[in-house]
Chain A
């Protein structure tokens, strides 16, 4: 019977199916970080359990870490306590740990792929909803809660009902200045913030085939923002090229064996999905959000829709615009901004820094803008330096910070102050997400760069030649 990519990977990880219940689902790779794992270890110990397969779990510190002066002790005692807990738990159970300052340290969804831990056909979970990122490699990857982190540590399984399947096809060629982030924000604006709830998405079509691995990661990363548990893209030559030779990928005969399996990972002709959508690349322009969920996005040249024109309740919509201090019908272009954030598991990779630099090169940061440029990992920092991007950043009046989740969720000191407006390459524009009272416009690195040099929301196409 014709099977989808998702079916192939899911079905091969079912240990057993519980009658009128979930599947017992085996997890190949498990990432943990300092915020959602400490209580899981406490639970494990209170039950007298241990970590059954420590070699399948990988720890990195990212959520609450500072992005300056990482060589100094972490000043916030609560954050320091969580970082210590992660380090101690990892040491106690023999889990590899990339703590603050480690050359492999960085955001969990950046370091997993760049070290070859993320593999096609694998099942990957982490106590973080953006685990969907790893689906770019043809893995089934999704976020879990702390109870499930404990399940994976103590049994290497979780109990999950199989989600429904959805395919989203985007065909055609993307226009000038249209990036993977724009493709994702466009899809989410069409699906709304909850349109894919209950589904696992496969992305297919020219647009994704043409994308780099970094771009595919950005798209899969944002799957959760339309409610999907995860998103995935069939692995191809680009995927294998990216993975080959990375520190933890299979080597020699194991690589060949893995390749034999990976080459079977595609959706069979005639396989059916529970839902399918088609979009045209030509309809997508650089995007920006105007509200308090990622589904509230429009082309950067457009105006904020009227409440009657959008799905959902009018009161919720008006509450959202009220929080943003925006009005129906406002143009987004030209809105004065205060902050720019380049980074996060969505847009903290080398390609994102290249895109940002393509605009700021030879220009200057606007005086009214505070900009935080936060690479996703130390490897990204190294690459930025190797390519000389640090010089462009410096010449344009920006400062490169140290890796971490930073202002995406503002658990560390990188908080946007109340009322301030930020153009952010991260993934969520929820109320207060970037700091209490902060206002967030989600956009691509190109829109962020153009806005950073102009000091207001700017269409990057006006600065690209």
Chain B
């Protein structure tokens, strides 16, 4: 499914410093029953955003009006652990987020994000702390994520750090390309390889 290209994003951010946020929290299993990809924002962090009677939990950062409309989420260490459900990345995207920043990501979640147009930005634990502190001090803190230059910057102070992304994935994100287009273009090479497999 096509996604919007990613270039430079400047936005306020939702802070979620809890560590080891697993994909069962990002979207609980009982909301994985769709056969189409749509509206996954509705149950994004369902049990952390809402009480069992469906009323919102006012103190949960994603429900706070002051952060509304942010396109970045700054998450705690080991964000996205657990289940491989791509629905978690879809729900991030459908909620309006284009970038998740954390000091560490779980592998599959990170991969899924890159495949659906959400940029996972891994920063040092110290820089993550700096970002959390800045947002706590001023909820309107703006963060600039510059993909071409691979930097993440606190706009107000200019504090900045570079981040890693391989040039293939970077090119994909900048242009809205995806892996399937790449793979279909080398179909014949894959077919020849398949012939060599013993089983």
Q: A154 at the A/B interface (Cβ < 8 Å)?
A: yes
Q: A313-B76, A411-B33, A418-B52 are in contact. Are A26 and B193 (CB under 8 A)?
A: yes
Given A81-B35, A258-B198, A432-B28, are A161 and B166 neighbors across the interface (CB < 8 Å)?
yes
B92 to chain A minimum Cβ distance, whole angstroms, is: 12
Contact of A351 with B by CB under 8 A: no
Closest A residue, CB atoms, query B38: A39
Residues 18-54 of chain A: 1 if any B CB is under 8 Å from the residue's CB, otherwise 0? 1111101010100000011011001100110100110
Closest A residue to B115 by beta carbon equals: A147
Contact A145 B179 (CB under 8 A): no
The interface residues of chain B lying within 8 Å CB-to-CB of A158 are: 179
Complex CA–CA separation, A28 to B193 (angstroms): 11
Q: Kindly identify, within residues 1 to 52 of chain B, every residue whose CB is under 8 Å from any CB belonging to chain A.
A: 1, 17-20, 22, 24-25, 28-30, 32-37, 47, 52
Contact check, B199 vs A28: say whether CB atoms are below 8 A apart: yes
Q: How far is the CA of A154 from the CA of B47 in the complex (A)?
A: 36
CB distance from A146 to the nearest CB of B (A): 4
A312 touches B19 (CB 8 A): yes
Q: Are A411 and B86 in contact (CB under 8 A)?
A: no
A81-B35, A147-B178 are known contacts. Are A430 and B52 too (CB-CB below 8 A)?
A: no
Q: Is the CB of A431 within 8 A of B24?
A: yes
Complex contacts, B59 vs chain A, CB 8 Å: none
Chain A residues whose CB sits within 8 angstroms of the CB of B17 once the complex forms: 313, 315
**Interface residue stretch chosen among B101-109, B133-141, B152-160:** B101-109
C-alpha gap A202/B104 in the complex (Å): 23
Number of residues of chain A lying within 8 A (CB) of chain B: 80
Closest to B1 in A: A43
Cβ-neighbour of B84 out of A76, A122, A144 (below 8 A)? A144
A190-198, A213-221, A356-364, A455-463: which lies at the interface: A190-198
Q: At the interface, yes or no: A319 with Cβ under 8 Å from chain B? A: yes
Residue of A147, A163, A198 with highest tally of chain B CB at under 10 A: A147
Contact of B91 with A by CB under 8 A: no
Chain A at the B interface: mostly helix, strand, loop or mixed?
A: loop
- Using Cβ atoms and an 8 Å threshold, which residues of chain A touch B52? 418, 436-437
Q: Which residues of A contact B35 (CB under 8 A)?
A: 38-39, 42, 81-82, 85
B112 at the interface (CB under 8 A from A): yes
What CA separation (Å) do A42 and B90 show in the bound complex? Answer: 15
Is the beta-carbon distance between B82 and A145 smaller than 8 angstroms?
no
Counting CB contacts under 8 A, is A99 at the interface? no
Q: Mark B159-199, 1 if CB is under 8 A from A, else 0.
A: 00000001111000000001110111011011001100111
- Answer yes or no: A205 CB below 8 A from chain B CBs: no
Please list the 6 inter-chain residue pairs (A to B) with the smallest Cβ-Cβ separation, ordered nearest first: A21-B168, A145-B86, A143-B84, A78-B33, A145-B112, A147-B115
A interface, CB within 8 angstroms of B: 15-16, 18-22, 24, 26, 28, 35-36, 38-39, 42-43, 46-47, 49, 52-53, 63-64, 76, 78-79, 81-82, 85, 119, 122, 127-129, 143-148, 150-151, 154-161, 163, 193-194, 197-198, 224, 227, 229, 250, 254, 257-258, 261, 293, 312-313, 315-316, 319, 409-411, 418, 428, 430-433, 436-437
